[in-house]
Structure 1
């Protein structure tokens, strides 16, 4: 277990920020077509979000599937284990548009306040 940071030490909050927006990022990663978990994780890592482990990603995918925002299909492969491929549903596209717009407005507000505070 990692000890808490010393008093006055800045806390790295990126993990909690990512947790708050991961559903939206997964939906956005599926806009160009179907994909499977490992490939989604690679896409997000390639965007600078760091390694997202399966224990974090797959519950998100399951939750999105249960909500009807993505559809999943298991496919056997000739070599190795089969994969579940995920596709964005129409409801998922609509949710991405709505929630994405809200996130961008939130982001603009945060940027504005940080800029006023001298953060560039």
Structure 2
């Protein structure tokens, strides 16, 4: 047991001594290279995320433009934050009336038969 511990400690002492020698010979370049490796890893991950976020934004920009074209003849407008602070009830005008009407009619159309079927069972 003690021989095993002695062997491990002697190896760790040599490893530590080798690291100290490398750091003393290489100087600050070792720390700079470690920082650059961390920077490359961070930039790689952030670029990967940025790629997917920009793709999702491009997809939803098309959907939002089609929605705005659909709601172009309704009273839908999106007020500014300053206007909302002065008149909070202005938020009611930000409700898209065509989409809300279609959603309400669809909800009623689907729930009435469902209620009727549940009463039969």
TM-score using structure 2 length: 0.25
Structure (1 or 2) with the larger CA radius of gyration: 2
Bigger share in helix: 2
TM-score using structure 1 length: 0.26
Bigger share in strand: 1
Q: Which has the higher contact order (CA 8 A, sep 6+)?
A: 1
